[in-house]
């Protein structure tokens, strides 16, 4: 069916409600109609994400319902006693999508544990394991602009779905031929049958206790209760859990940006509710200057990403941390303290530091410093969470014993460049609530030594080398944009650059073909990771550039990294790499 036929079907079919039909009939722009119907919103390897609205290429009760029906069919094909935990964030339609998903699951005989109000994504990950659920759903579009919403699926280990479950669930979703095939019962009927259970405070308490159990230096927190902290949840889910846990730990001077404290899916004070965006910190920095805060923190709408500024006592300025920087700083604190307290494995190589191929290469010398095994995954924290499961399975096979040679590692820390990390294994996804707690603990510890977090970061550059990274994206919307993105990556694959930023390209890793090819010799070896449409260019002197299409937005993403003996040297090289890659793309 072509897009106009699909559009007319939606306008006329009794399957769709009158509000949906009215929205569609009011459209006058042919390009808008095409964009809404030229394809179905893809249930990708993690779930759905898209713009809210009526149409097959939009987030609405029909596309979300189809995804939930497919998930229900998959669960019922595997067990007669399935259950699913459901959480949602502050975005528009989140609570409605969550409740409708619960009704669909119940209609299929699957028990739904639905949170009584919005909760952070990491708490959903925790709740899946705590309730023994078969799967989990969280309704969120994470850090995307206000017009987006999304639907992420988790499996029984608390991690996002990964192979083979992702493709198996996708197959079930794709089998649904008609939206009329989606089963629903009322919330009242579901509750009366014991198939809709509300969860809340009891899970909050257990989640808080798990996070607080990760603290390594309670004395440092006690001695620095007066540390001045500014925090903003950016109208999202973080406000209550972050404030609650910081209060339990004893921090006395925590200021929350009042204009951004209440949940609001319109995100009225920011155009882009993303802690990666400096503009999102405007109000927080204004407050920080008024109260002379030492650290400034922001979490995204579903509280899995953390943005950080720290005051430089020398200049008095608030210095921004990238996701790599904050992740590396937390890693350095956690690993140094565990080593000091004898908490690392006796054979440190049995401990694993896990990151992604597009994250900072400073992870390499940090892993070497603590004797840990460094494991790199594809982009996306779900692959880091998967490693925890694999480690546990390997240890079980090995009689509970650690053994690096058998993959039976102890997870020590994981981080990715996109402002996400995980301390502990209570969750299996990035956790900004825990990151806030651990960063505040680190700040208190270093404060006792007369150091700010910025001082510590500069010290890490001296110790390990100056590693800098950047990410830039090019948005290409609609059917034409999707084709352009495909062509750019295809041309880069067929005609790779020989140098970037004045540095030779040593090798190209093509994760779609699964091959690493050395440019000088032509020697080919396995790329070492699962198939993915990703190109990675290794440069001289530990530089690199990685290209991939976004899995959640109509964008092509370019990640670049460089190192140097000084910040200035690394910054200059990074700019040159970015400039040359931009030129390469323009010429394609």
478 — pLDDT class (breaks 50, 70, 90): confident
Give the mean model confidence (pLDDT) for residues 75-96: 97
402-433 pLDDT, tens digit each: 999 999 999 999 999 999 999 999 999 999 99
In the chain, what percentage of residues exceed pLDDT 90?
94
Output the domain CATH number for residue 495: 3.30.310.50
* Distance separating alpha carbons of residues 403 and 348, to the nearest angstrom: 10
* Distance separating alpha carbons of residues 33 and 14, to the nearest angstrom: 20
520-529 pLDDT, tens digit each: 999 999 999 9
- Please tell me the predicted confidence (pLDDT) of residue 587: 78
Instruction: Indicate whether 471 belongs to any domain.
Output: yes
Answer for the pair 89, 139: CB distance below 8 angstroms, yes or no: yes
Question: In this structure, what are the phi and psi dihedrals at residue 306, rounded to the nearest 5 degrees?
Answer: -125, 130
In the chain, what percentage of residues exceed pLDDT 70?
99
Q: Which of 439, 454, 448 is nearest to 230 (CA)?
A: 439
Instruction: Indicate whether 542 belongs to any domain.
Output: yes
Instruction: Indicate whether 223 belongs to any domain.
Output: no
588 — pLDDT class (breaks 50, 70, 90): low
Give the mean model confidence (pLDDT) for residues 291-296: 98
Give the mean model confidence (pLDDT) for residues 9-13: 97
- Please tell me the predicted confidence (pLDDT) of residue 586: 85
* Distance separating alpha carbons of residues 462 and 445, to the nearest angstrom: 20
Question: In this structure, what are the phi and psi dihedrals at residue 368, rounded to the nearest 5 degrees?
Answer: -65, -40
Exactly one of 95, 101, 142, 326 is catalytic; name it.
142
46 — pLDDT class (breaks 50, 70, 90): confident
Which 3 state secondary structure label does DSSP give 164?
coil
The contacts of residue 264 (CB under 8 Å, 6+ apart) are 90, 235
- How many domains does the chain divide into? 2
43 — pLDDT class (breaks 50, 70, 90): confident
Question: Tokens 């036929």 identify what position?
Answer: 5
Instruction: Indicate whether 312 belongs to any domain.
Output: no
Answer for the pair 362, 332: CB distance below 8 angstroms, yes or no: no
335-376 pLDDT, tens digit each: 999 999 999 999 999 999 999 999 999 999 999 999 999 999
- Please tell me the predicted confidence (pLDDT) of residue 528: 93
- Please tell me the predicted confidence (pLDDT) of residue 57: 96
- Please provide the distance, in angstroms rounded to a whole number, between the alpha carbons at the two ends of the chain: 33
321 — pLDDT class (breaks 50, 70, 90): very high
Q: Which of 199, 214, 243 is the last residue of a domain?
A: 199
Instruction: Indicate whether 383 belongs to any domain.
Output: no
Q: Which of 199, 226, 249 is the last residue of a domain?
A: 199
Domain containing 493 equals 466-587
Which pair of structure tokens corresponds to residue 359? 């994250």
142 carries an active-site annotation: yes
* Distance separating alpha carbons of residues 38 and 90, to the nearest angstrom: 29
Which 3 state secondary structure label does DSSP give 541?
helix
* Distance separating alpha carbons of residues 575 and 459, to the nearest angstrom: 23
pTM exceeding the 0.85 threshold for the entire prediction:
yes
Instruction: Indicate whether 580 belongs to any domain.
Output: yes
Output the domain CATH number for residue 73: 3.40.120.10
- Please tell me the predicted confidence (pLDDT) of residue 585: 87
* Distance separating alpha carbons of residues 35 and 340, to the nearest angstrom: 57
Instruction: Indicate whether 343 belongs to any domain.
Output: no
542 — pLDDT class (breaks 50, 70, 90): very high
Instruction: Indicate whether 575 belongs to any domain.
Output: yes
157-206 pLDDT, tens digit each: 999 999 899 999 999 999 999 999 999 999 999 999 999 999 999 999 99
């Amino acid at each position: 069916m072509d897009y106009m036929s699909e559009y007319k079907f939606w306008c006329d079919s009794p399957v769709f409600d009158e509000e949906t039909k009215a929205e569609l009939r009011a459209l006058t722009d042919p390009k808008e109609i095409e964009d809404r119907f030229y394809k179905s919103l893809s249930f990708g390897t993690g779930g759905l994400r898209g713009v809210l609205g009526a149409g097959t290429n939009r987030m609405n009760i029909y596309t979300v319902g189809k995804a939930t029906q497919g998930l229900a069919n998959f669960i019922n094909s595997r067990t007669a006693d399935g259950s699913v935990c459901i959480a949602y964030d502050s975005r528009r339609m989140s609570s409605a999508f969550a409740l409708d998903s619960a009704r669909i699951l119940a209609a299929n005989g699957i028990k739904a544990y639905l949170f009584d109000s919005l909760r952070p994504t990491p708490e959903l990950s925790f709740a899946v394991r705590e309730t023994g659920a078969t799967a989990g759903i969280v309704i969120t579009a994470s850090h995307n602009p206000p017009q987006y919403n999304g639907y992420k699926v988790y499996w029984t280990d608390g991690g996002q779905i990964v192979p083979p479950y992702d493709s198996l669930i996708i197959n079930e979703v794709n089998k649904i031929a008609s939206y009329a095939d989606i089963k629903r019962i009322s919330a009242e009927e579901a509750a009366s049958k014991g198939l809709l259970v509300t969860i809340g405070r009891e899970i909050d308490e257990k989640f808080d206790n798990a996070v607080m159990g990760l603290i390594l230096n309670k004395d440092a927190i006690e001695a620095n209760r007066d540390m001045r902290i500014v925090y903003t949840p950016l109208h999202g889910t973080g406000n209550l859990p972050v404030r609650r846990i910081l209060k339990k730990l004893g921090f006395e001077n925590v200021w929350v940006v009042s204009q951004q404290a209440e949940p609001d899916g319109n995100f009225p004070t920011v155009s882009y509710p993303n802690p990666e965006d400096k503009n999102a910190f405007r109000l927080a920095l204004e407050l920080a200057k008024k109260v002379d805060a030492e650290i400034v923190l922001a979490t995204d709408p579903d509280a899995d990403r953390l943005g950080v500024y720290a005051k430089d006592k020398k200049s008095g300025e608030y210095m921004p941390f990238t996701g790599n920087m904050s992740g590396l700083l937390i890693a350095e604190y956690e690993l140094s303290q565990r080593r000091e307290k004898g908490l690392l494995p006796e054979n440190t190589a049995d401990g694993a530091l896990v990151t992604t191929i597009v994250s900072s290469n400073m992870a390499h010398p940090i892993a070497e410093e603590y004797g840990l095994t460094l494991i790199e995954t594809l982009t996306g924290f779900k692959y880091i969470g998967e490693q925890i499961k694999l480690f546990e399975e390997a240890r079980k096979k090995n009689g509970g014993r650690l053994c690096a040679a058998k993959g039976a590692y102890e997870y020590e820390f994981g981080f990715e460049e996109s402002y996400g990390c995980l301390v502990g294994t209570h969750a299996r996804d990035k956790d900004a609530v825990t990151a806030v707690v651990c960063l505040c603990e680190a700040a208190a510890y270093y404060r006792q030594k007369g150091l700010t977090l910025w001082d510590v970061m500069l010290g890490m550059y001296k110790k390990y080398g100056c590693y800098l990274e950047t990410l830039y994206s090019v948005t290409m919307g609609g059917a034409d944009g999707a084709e352009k993105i495909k062509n750019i990556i295809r041309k880069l694959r067929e005609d790779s650059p020989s140098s970037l930023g004045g540095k030779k390209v040593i090798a190209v890793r093509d994760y779609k073909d699964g091959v690493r090819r050395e440019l000088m010799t032509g020697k080919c070896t396995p790329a070492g990771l699962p198939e993915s449409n990703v190109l990675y260019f290794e440069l001289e002197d530990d530089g690199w550039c990685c290209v991939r299409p976004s899995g959640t937005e109509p964008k092509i993403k370019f990640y670049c990294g460089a190192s140097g003996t000084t910040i200035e040297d690394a910054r200059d090289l990074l700019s040159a790499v970015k400039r040359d890659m931009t030129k390469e793309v323009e010429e394609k």
